[in-house]
Amino acid sequence: MTTFVLVHGAWHGGWCWHRIVANLQQAAHQVFAPDLKSLGVDRTPPGSVTLDTWTGQIAALIQAQADPVVLVGHSRGGLVLSEVAERMPERIRTLVYVTAFLLENGRSLQDAAAADPESRVPAAMVLAKDHQSAYIREDAVRDTFYGQCTDADVALARSLLVPEPLAPLATPIKITAARFGRVPRVYVECTGDKAITHSAQRRMQQSLPCRERYILDADHSPFFSRSEELSAVLLRM
């Protein structure tokens, strides 16, 4: 049995992994898909959340497991993966970046987003009045995240997306070759992604090569649009 910890991306919650959780559990694995603080059903105020908040949350979950885990992250969840791997490399078997931000030391998500001008996310984001979070315009949700998903999946997502805390997105990653660099990493590319474009996914891997690469003909949300294929990739871990 393998223990998987699934880290969701911006605006989402653990709910987005529901098909992946079911498939992995059916194969007799243990799976955790928590809501990060301030997201999903968690009501922590966005202004109190930092990247370190999320890192500590996932690190504590991993520390409570008997054996090292496979740590999977989608989109912005890649920031959390890298920071957790730096903090506790001995507790992670493999890092799996699912069309996720794989950043070099000292870079922030804001830096990476600025280098991906074809992404649909910036034009779809609306800043909250308190400037502590942002949300995605409802009319842009499908095109940005769910271009290959069913109407039912899009309706579910629209009902569950919540504002994303902004502080973690501006925080530079802190990783080293000695710690983060010793954990094996895998990248799952999504060729039809309009949030993190395929070219951006490839550029990040050029800077930080991964042990393996899997390619899905998918939008930004393969946990919906290609759930069986994504599950099969994770089961190979």
Return per-residue pLDDT of the chain as tens, 237 residues: 999 999 999 999 999 999 999 999 999 999 999 999 999 999 999 999 999 999 999 999 999 999 999 999 999 999 999 999 999 999 999 999 999 999 999 999 999 999 999 999 999 999 999 999 999 999 999 999 999 999 999 999 999 999 999 999 999 999 999 999 999 999 999 999 999 999 999 999 999 999 999 999 999 999 999 999 999 999 998
> How would you write 106-164 as a 3-class SS string?
CCCHHHHHHCCCCCCHHHHEEECCCCCEEEECHHHHHHHHCCCCCHHHHHHHHHHCCCE
Residues classed as catalytic: 75
- Which residues lie closer than 8 Å to 224 by C-beta, 6 or more apart? 16, 19, 146, 149, 150, 153, 157
CA distance 49 to 44: 8
Residue 146's pLDDT is what? Answer: 98
> Residue written as tokens 């890298």?
82
Cα–Cα distance list, 75 to 67, 99, 103, 123 (Å): 26, 6, 11, 17
Beta bridge partners of 7: 73
Taking the C-alpha atoms of residue 33 and residue 20, their distance in angstroms, rounded to an integer, is 10
Q: What is the pLDDT of residue 237?
A: 85
User: Domain extents for the chain?
Assistant: 3-235
Give the model's pLDDT for residue 53. Answer: 98
pLDDT at 89: 98
Tokens of 32: 């955790």
Instruction: Give the tokens for residue 160.
Output: 């569950």
Q: How far is CA 15 from the centre of its chain?
A: 13
Helix (H) or strand (E) holding 78: helix 77-87
Using an 8 Å Cβ cutoff, are 19 and 31 in contact?
no
The CATH architecture one would assign to domain 3-235 is 3-Layer(aba) Sandwich (3.40)
